[in-house]
Amino acid sequence: MGGLARDHRRRRSVARHTLTGAQLAEEGALADGDECFDFTFGSLLLRTTYHYWFHTGENMATRQLLGHRDLTQFVGDIDEEAPYQSA
């Protein structure tokens, strides 16, 4: 199983490194019932990353150690407040 996991991580890493800024800035939309949500693929990638960090507790623990107060309960409206920006 270890070899299979390593192969999967390698392929995922190669795919991630082939994305361009233009691809990450492309807009998309998702429908959920009667609602439609606009996003960029870069912001979606950021949201997924931040969501992962939130669930592992690493970012909250770090912020607590830094003395931050009133910590948020969710990543928030990343598409409006902190959208992906190509370097």
**What pLDDT does 74 receive?**
64
Whole-structure pTM value:
0.51
Lowest mean pLDDT among 2-16, 18-32, 46-60: 2-16
Please report, for the chain, how many H helices and E strands are present, in that order.
5, 2
Q: 3-state DSSP call for residue 35?
A: strand
Query: What are the residues whose beta carbons fall under 8 Å from the beta carbon of 71, sequence distance 6 or more?
Result: 60, 63, 64
Distances (CA, A) of 15 to 9, 11, 50, 52, 63: 10, 6, 19, 19, 31
State pLDDT tens for residues 28-60: 888 888 998 888 988 888 888 888 877 777 878
